[in-house]
Amino acid sequence: MNVAGPARSRPSSSSSSDANSKRGHHGHAADGGSSSLVDMYLDVPSFELSLDEFEEYALARLKVLRKIEEMKTRNLPPDLFRSQLDASIKSNLRSNDIVDVASHFILRAAYCRNEDLRRWFLTQECILFRHRLESVSRGGGGSRGGGGNNGGGGHHDELRDFLARNDFDLDRVSAADKERLRDKLLSVPGTNPVEFNVAEYYRVPFVQALELVGRRECYVADGNAYVPLPRVVSIVAAKFRSSLSRSLASAGGIFRQAVSRDERARIGPLLSSMNSQYTGPSGGAGSSAAYGIDGEEGAPTAANVDELASRSMPLCMRQLHRGLQRDHKLKHQGRLQYGLFLKGAGMSLEEHTLFFQREFAKIMTGEQFNKQYAYSIRHMHGKEGKRATYTPGAEHHGCPYRHYDDASLSALLGLLKIGNAVDRDAIMAHKRDGNFQLACSRHFEAVHPGATSLEGVNLDGVGNHPNAWFSASVSYHNAKSGKGGATGGSKNVVKAEGVA
């Protein structure tokens, strides 16, 4: 598992499975006494784990990371977030340092394979790290294991110990200097005059405190940032993030070569399926993914999107799909709208690119496509530009019910063989009355007979949002065909797959 090791340390040999039945723990954290409550994971450990432990530890951490993601999605208030995360850490990574260190590196190896996985892992690990560091600097301690909470007073020592252990070269500001700079330091926003008197300040090169510098949240003089001890957290967190990010990126490229052949046979499958391991129900259904489709089930792919379009898409999206099939291109609005719809329906970036490329390639070269369109697809998935995660908007333009005249709409309904004559008349009646949402819902009812009586089919928002329409349709067809589970729940739920 040293594949994911940071550039800083290159252990010559460390195998996680050489002696998979022995339970010797040695090396990095062998002292077992949890002197460190927070770890930068700069040194790749070398100790031996059984294959069972290997998997058990990894899944334990996965639970914590998924818990973090879920809580972030639900936007929990900070103190609830902290207490729930503490509980999760306690029950999963409770026992000792080895679980924590080993599981971090195992997941690092499992999640370095591609950009999506790396980003996910980096995000959750950074939140976890920051949480622990803040606990330590607040004096909470104990977030890695039991103990550690030695009450007031000593917490700054813990943080100091941590900083010293991890090569943070902080220059403590002398009392005289602090007094000399009193006015300056006190006029930094957020400085509490009462706490100032006991606060300890450190001088760091400003490039180590970019976050604070950029927000003018520290005093800067002569190239140095003056930072009170608690705020050192943000500096350390930034350093953690960049070193982990670098390690993941460099490990990503060498994943295949670095895991030796015999190890690959043994731990390869474990690592490569790690991200799709089932770790139990995630708890709250993610609100942001309300219209999402679970796992791969029902999610559109380049291969099945044609079929899904005629089976499960509302008229507006079907029209975009037909336009794309007919002209092998879509204008910007159309690409954005259809793209976000597909993304909301669970289509992955890879499938999305594949599908659009397949269509566009009929009128242009692959190079042209890559140059002009691939970027915007990645952008939609938050991989470019400001990396925002776009969600399909509720209001959309180009509603056929609203914008088509009666004759065109009627012709279209007939062409697409939507419902029977009675259905089509009802839809046309809604359209003429200006009740476009009712028309859209009526379309759904026409092609999903008995939907209201099926369990697990959520009809909320069917006439309002194309993704609601789609999601309801997919769950309808799943329920019909006897596949359970697709209830439009959280994306966090990952299907269980064969565990070796």
Partner 1 sequence: MGAATDAVDDDEREFGAEDDVVPAVKSNNDVDYDDADADARRDAPRSSSSSSSSSATTSVVYSPELLGVYYSRLFPYDLLHSWLSYDPSSINPGNGKVVTPAKASSSSSSSSSSSYSSSSLSSSSTFPRREFSMTIEPTPGSEVYIRYQSFSSREDLAAAVMRRRPTKLDIGAVFNHPPKDNKSLPAGKLQTVERELVFDVDLTDYDEVRNCGCAGADICPKCWTYMGMAMGVMDAGLRRDFGFRHLAWFYSGRRGVHCWVCDESARMLTNEARSAVASYFEVNLGSDKNKGFNLSAPLHPALARAYEILEPRFVDSVLPEDGHGLLATRASWTRLLLTLPKAAHPVASRLEERWGRSPGRDATPREKWRELKSELASFVGGRGGGAKAPKTLSSSDRVRIEMWPVETVFRQTYPRLDINVSKMQNHLLKSPFCVHPKTGRVCVPIDADDFDSFDPFAVPTLASLVRELDEYEARGGGGNDANADGGVVHDWQKTSLRGPFERYRKKVLIPLLNDERRSAREERERRAAVVGDF
Q: Which residues form the interface with partner 1 (CB under 8 A)? A: 184, 186-189, 206-207, 210-211, 213-216, 219-224
Cα–Cα distance measured from residue 378 to residue 360, given in angstroms and rounded to the nearest whole number: 16
Least distance from C-beta 233 to partner 1, angstroms? 17
Q: Report in angstroms how near the CB of residue 389 gets to partner 1 at its nearest.
A: 21
- Residue closer to partner 1 by CB (options 193, 482) is 193
* Cβ–Cβ under 8 Å, residues 141 and 135: yes
Residue entry with tokens 């990952």: 494
Nearer to partner 1, 213 or 454 (CB): 213
192 or 260, CB closer to partner 1? 192
Sign of CA dihedral 485, 85, 125, 97: negative
Task: Yes or no: say if 470 and 345 are a contact pair by the CB < 8 Å rule.
Answer: yes
Task: State both tokens at 318.
Answer: 């079907």
Looking at the Cβ atoms of 221 and 499, the one nearer to partner 1 is 221
User: Please, which residue, 220 or 446, has the CB nearer to partner 1?
Assistant: 220
**366 versus 450: smaller Cβ distance to partner 1:** 366
Minimum separation from the CB atom of position 186 to partner 1 (A): 7
Cβ 101 to partner 1, closest distance in Å? 28
The DSSP secondary-structure symbol of 370 reads I
Angle at CA 176, nearest 5°, toward 184 and 236?
65
Closest Cα partner for 476 from 443, 450, 446? 450
In the complex, the smallest distance separating the C-beta of residue 7 from partner 1, rounded to whole angstroms, is 16
Cβ neighbour number for residue 300 with a 10 Å cutoff: 26
Which candidate, 38, 40, 42, 36, places its Cα nearest to that of 10?
42
**Positive or negative: CA dihedral 448, 454, 458, 459:** positive
8 Å CB contact between 120 and 274: no
Q: How far is the CB of 198 from partner 1 (least distance, A)?
A: 20
Smallest separation (angstroms) from partner 1 to the CB of 205: 9
Rounded to a whole number of angstroms, the minimum distance from the CB of residue 366 to partner 1 is 15
**Two structure tokens written together for 206:** 């400003």
The 10 Å Cβ neighbour count of residue 366 is: 11
Q: Which residue, 209 or 317, has its beta carbon nearer to partner 1?
A: 209
- Residue 92 or 224 with smaller CB distance to partner 1: 224
Closer to partner 1 at the Cβ: 220 or 418?
A: 220
Q: How many other C-beta atoms are found inside a 10 Å radius of the C-beta of residue 93?
A: 23
Kindly state the smallest distance separating residue 367's Cβ from partner 1, in Å: 12
One-character DSSP codes across 169-192: --EEPPHHHHHHTHHHHHTSTT--
Alpha helices in 21-96 (DSSP H): 51-74, 78-92
Q: Return the sign of the alpha-carbon dihedral for residues 190, 193, 198, 201.
A: positive
